[in-house]
Amino acid sequence: MAKRQSSGKFSQIQPAKGKLGVMIPGMGAVATTFVAGVEAIRRGLAQPIGSLTQMGTIRLGKRTDARSPKIKDFVPLAGLDDLVFTGWDIYTDDMYAAARNAGVLERDLLDKIKPFLESIKPRKAVFDRNYVRKLDGPNVKKGKSKMDLAEQVRDDIREFKKTSGASRFIMIWCGSTEIFLRPTAVHASVKAFEKSLQQNDEDIAPSMIYAYAALSEGVPFANGAPNLTVDIPVMSELSRRNHAPICGKDFKTGQTLVKTILAPGFKARMLGLSGWYSTNILGNRDGEVLDDPDSFKTKEESKLGVLEHILQPQMYPQLYGKIFHKVRINYYPPRGDNKEGWDNIDIFGWLGYPMQIKVDFLCRDSILAAPIVLDLVLFLDLAQRSAELRGIGIQEWLSFYFKSPMTAPGLYPEHDLFIQSMKLKNTLRHLKGEALITHLGLEYYD
């Protein structure tokens, strides 16, 4: 165990010894693109483009020190060879069949790793059509109560712990977007939640049952969908109690990624904004699920918060007091996973003169999401091995990866990608007892 001075505190990080078991509810486009990608990279068939943990560097000390190690050489992360996988889905397709069905990666690549992908078969899902109306599948658990279903997921986790050969574990939700739910008294404490699990309360969605099971087994949980899942007091309580870090929600990929790159730039230059119209066409299963207004509402809330938090209209009423912000997602099957997102941005400058920016992003949703899944798996595992991070619950330093970052109660989230990036890297420096980088730089002129 390494002991290091960290901003006056001792920060201990246990080494990444042994295998890391990755458990994925939802074996669809994102999950299969992630798992197949990891295997392709392990075999030297492709590069981990888009992954900060694999490709990123971190500057340490002064600009004149020339110390910029790779992040994976700076903090002890699990290696790709150490990852082993399991998953749950309502369909019976193994990872190969599911990846073929998702249509993201080329058949040629998938065929090279077919036996590996075929070996990952879905466990029976906890699923209820009342929460995802557009889907229905045969591979679903039956139980007397929601508590019974949670016990069955806990059994799955224990079984994977025994048979996978892994010593550490992570769960990451790559399942569908559920209907919009608000936090209620049911979610306020572990006690209330457990009573409501017994009573089959409708405020408990399937994704919460997985999260409850994982955290109860001491397994960290990341939420890739905009679902409420772990963004409720009961999960923070369980997370802290069992030293199983949590983070979420909703992977920050295509259009929202672009939004959180552009909007901080407008604000930094004090350019006004009167409207931002975002529309998408998307033809994958995610698009089909989001065709249901109640699932779309969950996504919409997640996407809309971004501008308000970045632009702070209450502080700049002349610039951002009257923004018309609209987000649309249209299900259009011919495009499959290759989404097209249009943004029309109405800005104004000096003396109020209007200008327009048009962005047409022909993106690949799951190609953007897969490296996020990898980084979150590796960083959450790091957090659980860090004496300083494992007991704090929400890992806000991972906001970088999310459309709706979770924060401690009463805090507003940071959406600006560059603030998020600085926060993440400074957290890593802090963990290793390195000086934080403020970009002040006056010392170079002494």
Ligand X SMILES: NC(=O)c1ccc[n+]([C@@H]2O[C@H](COP(=O)([O-])OP(=O)(O)OC[C@H]3O[C@@H](n4cnc5c(N)ncnc54)[C@H](O)[C@@H]3O)[C@@H](O)[C@H]2O)c1
Regarding 26 and contact with ligand X (CB under 6 A), the answer is yes
Could you tell me if 6 and 388 are in contact, meaning their C-beta atoms sit under 8 angstroms apart?
yes
Output the smallest distance, CB 127 to ligand X, in A: 4
Question: What residues contact residue 401 under an 8 Å CB cut-off, 6+ apart?
Answer: 247, 251, 252, 372, 375, 376
Phi, psi of 205 (to 5 degrees): -90, 160
**Binding flag, residue 231, ligand X (CB under 6 A):** no
105-113, 149-157, 245-253, 262-270 -> range binding ligand X (CB under 6 A): 245-253
- Looking at the DSSP assignment, which residues form a beta bridge with residue 2? 13
Measured from the CB atom, the residue of 13 and 90 that comes closer to ligand X is: 90
Does 365 interact with ligand X (rule: CB under 6 A)?
yes
Q: Does 405 bind ligand X (CB under 6 A)?
A: no
Binding residues for ligand X, rule CB under 6 A, total 36
Q: Which of 27, 211, 319, 431 binds ligand X (CB under 6 A)?
A: 27
Tell me which stretch binds ligand X (CB under 6 A): 62-70, 84-92, 305-313, 388-396: 84-92
- Please state, in angstroms and as integers, the Cα–Cα distance from residue 111 to each residue in 32, 87, 95, 105, 373, following that order: 13, 20, 12, 10, 23
**Contact characters 195-224, ligand X, x per CB under 6 A:** -----------x-----------------x
Query: Residue 380: enclosing H or E segment and its boundaries?
Result: helix 365-385
Cβ distance to ligand X smaller for residue 112 or 364? 364
Q: Which residue stretch of 5-13, 89-97, 351-359, 417-425 sits at the interface with ligand X (rule: CB under 6 A)?
A: 89-97
Each residue 173-192 as x (binds ligand X by CB under 6 A) or -, in order, gives: -xxxx---------------
* Nearest CB to ligand X, comparing residues 51 and 386: 51
Question: How far apart are CB 129 and ligand X at their closest, in Å?
Answer: 10
- Contact call for residue 54 and ligand X (CB under 6 A): no
- Select 60 or 126, whichever has its Cβ closest to ligand X: 126
Q: Which of residues 274-303 bind ligand X (CB under 6 A)?
A: 284-286, 289
Q: Hey, how many other C-beta atoms are within 10 angstroms of the C-beta on 1?
A: 8
CA 396-22-237 angle, to 5 degrees, is: 40
Q: Are strands 166-173 and 19-25 parallel, antiparallel or unpaired?
A: parallel
Q: Is residue 126 close enough to count as binding ligand X by CB under 6 A?
A: yes
> Binding of ligand X at residue 116 (CB under 6 A)?
no
Using alpha carbons only, what angle is made at residue 432 by residues 429 and 435, rounded to the nearest 5 degrees? Answer: 45
| DSSP per-residue codes, 226-258 | SSSTTSSHHHHHHHHHTT--EE-SSB--HHHHH
- Tell me the residue ranges of DSSP E strands in 264-391: 272-282, 324-331, 338-348, 354-364
> Does 91 interact with ligand X (rule: CB under 6 A)?
yes
Q: Name residues whose C-beta falls within 8 Å of residue 86's C-beta, 6 or more positions apart in sequence.
A: 21, 22, 23, 24, 120, 123, 156, 160, 164
In the bound state with ligand X, the residue whose beta carbon lies nearer, of 263 and 368, is 368
Residue 15 to residues 18, 198, 385, 389, Cα–Cα distance (Å): 9, 39, 7, 15
Residue 250 is a binding residue for ligand X (CB under 6 A): yes
CB of 250 to ligand X, least distance (A): 5
* 117 forms part of the interface with ligand X (CB under 6 A): no
According to the binding rule CB under 6 A, does residue 25 interact with ligand X? Answer: yes
> CA 284 to CA 290: how far, in whole Å?
10
Residue selected from 34, 74, 169, 251 as contacting ligand X according to rule CB under 6 A: 251
Rounded to whole angstroms, the Cα distance separating 35 from 32 reads 5
Q: Which residues contact ligand X by CB under 6 A?
A: 25-31, 88-91, 102, 125-127, 132, 135, 137, 174-177, 206, 224-225, 250-251, 253, 284-286, 289, 365-366, 368-369
